[in-house]
Amino acid sequence: MEKIKIRGLLKISSALFGAWGAAVVVKGFYDRFLGGEPEANKYAPASWAFVSREQWARYASFELFYGLACVALAVALLRYARFLPETLSRPRSTEPTLID
């Protein structure tokens, strides 16, 4: 018999989505509300020449909601993981595979 950890897979993916989402939320919040600006402003002859403030605000809002969606997915995965068993046992197959 081989054991497969089912709940652990969801917890790992939830941690990855949560960490990524939290980082993106912080960056999106900074860009949208605290005066973040695109890197193009550093290299342009005049600030806001390549990207307008309206375009940047739209992008920052998208970034903020994308991060919130990643955090929501992480929470949903954690809640769903409670319904799954910790491990699953199944008979080991006798056919050779690339992993064996």
- Taken as a whole, the chain contains a residue count of 100
18, containing H or E segment: helix 6-33
pTM for the whole thing? 0.81
For the chain, report the end-to-end CA distance as a whole number of angstroms: 14
Q: Which two tokens stand for residue 16?
A: 């990855």
Q: State pLDDT tens for residues 63-76.
A: 999 999 999 999 99
Residue 60 has pLDDT above 90, yes or no: yes
Alpha-carbon span 13 to 15, nearest angstrom? 5
